[in-house]
Each structure stands twice: as structure tokens, then as C-alpha cells.
Amino acid sequence: MTSPLTTNQIAWRAAQDIEDGAYVNLGIGLPVRVAQFQPPGREAIFHSENGILGFGAAPAPGDEDWDLINASKKSVTLKPGTAFFDHADSFAMVRGGHLDVAILGAYQVAENGDLANWSTGPRGVPAVGGAMDLVHGARRVAVITDHLTRKGEPKLVHRCTFPLTGLGCINRVYTSHAVVDIEDGRFVLREKLADLSLEALQAITGARLHIPGPVGELTAPEV
């Protein structure tokens, strides 16, 4: 059986859907990896809520400048035209609808598009932070995540049980097993691992998967 996608492969798959010239915010954690995998001939303008617009890829090991970091505290490089600004201006961009795409991680995504990506628990993300602005400020909001938790529980669910980040805000979910859109309050399956049966995928998904048309094959290179 085909192995589930790795975290880098999930990030690669999400990067393929970013349009040339799009303004994109990448959330803390796994989403920042998306910047590594821009398709040839396309260039996104990446926004970081700590005050950078248009930054470049991670520097080579040993070449880091730790005054230049993204929201995940990862070192980045500068590109011609990179801009710096304070938090007030950064969130004015978000709240003003100037971002085309936001890509976030998740604890849970509900079939109605609700997102939960923070927790009040001792080991969770301790506060909702800028995510609550991003999910309602960006024109399109996507999630990248493993399909299951470390305990083997579904992350795609009927209703979220974690504290909510936003209501009805997610458009698409990229997981280790599938690509799922959220349309009219339901999960719509677009792609899945080639030799994973629909029955097996449904068994590890916490809400019904709807299949209105052909389902593509979810593949990614070794990255």
C-alpha cells in the first residue's frame, strides 16, 4: 500500500495550488514549509504576521541571520522588494482583505468548515493568536495536516471538540491521505492515495465524504 504523504509532501501538494503573484500567509509550524516548494515559473509573495512581506527561502545552514525570522521563528532570507512593518500594519493587511491565501495547521476541521487549531491544555498552542484574524481576512483559507492524530483519531470531524479558531472558514484541507474541499457544509473528496480504498479512507474520517465527481490520485515527489 502507498505510504501516507510525509509532512514535506503535504506542504509540496499545497504549494501546487498557489497562484503566481498571490499574497500568502503561512501559519506557525508545518505551513511554513510550503514556501520551500513553489512550482517553477510561479512566485508567491509571502506575508508573515510578525512584519515581513516578500521574504525568500530559508538560508543555507550556518548562514542564518536571526534578526530575520518568520512567525515560526525560522530564519528567512530577503528578496528584492522585501518590506518590514509593525504588527498594526501587518494585521491591517490581514483584516483589510489583502491576502489571497492563508495556510494553517489544525487539530480539527469540521465538515461545516469550522477550524480548531489551538488548545487550552498544557501542551497545546496556548492562545488563538493571529489565526482568528487570518481565517476571516484571507480570501481563501486552507489547512495542511496529518489525516489522523498520534492516537489514531480523525482530524476531519463532524463537529470540532477543541476551542474554535473560526466558524465556517476553511475551503480546502490537504492531508497525508487526501485532498478534501468543504462545500455547502460537507466534505467533498477531490484526491486520495491511489491504492487507498474509499471505504478505508472513510473509516479514518470522522464525517461523511461526498464524491460528486472523479477522484484524483494524490501523489507527491520525494522532497
Q: Annotated catalytic sites, by residue?
A: 49
Report the 3 state secondary structure along the chain: CCCCCCHHHHHHHHHCCCCCCCEEEECCCHHHHHHHHCCCCCCCEEEECCCEECCCCCCCCCCCCCCCECCCCCECCCCCCCEECCHHHHHHHHHCCCCCEEEECCCEEECCCCEECCCCCCCCCCCCCCHHHHHHHCCEEEEEECCECCCCCECEECCCCCCCCECCCCCEEEECCEEEEEECCEEEEEEECCCCCHHHHHHCCECCEECCCCCEECCCCCC
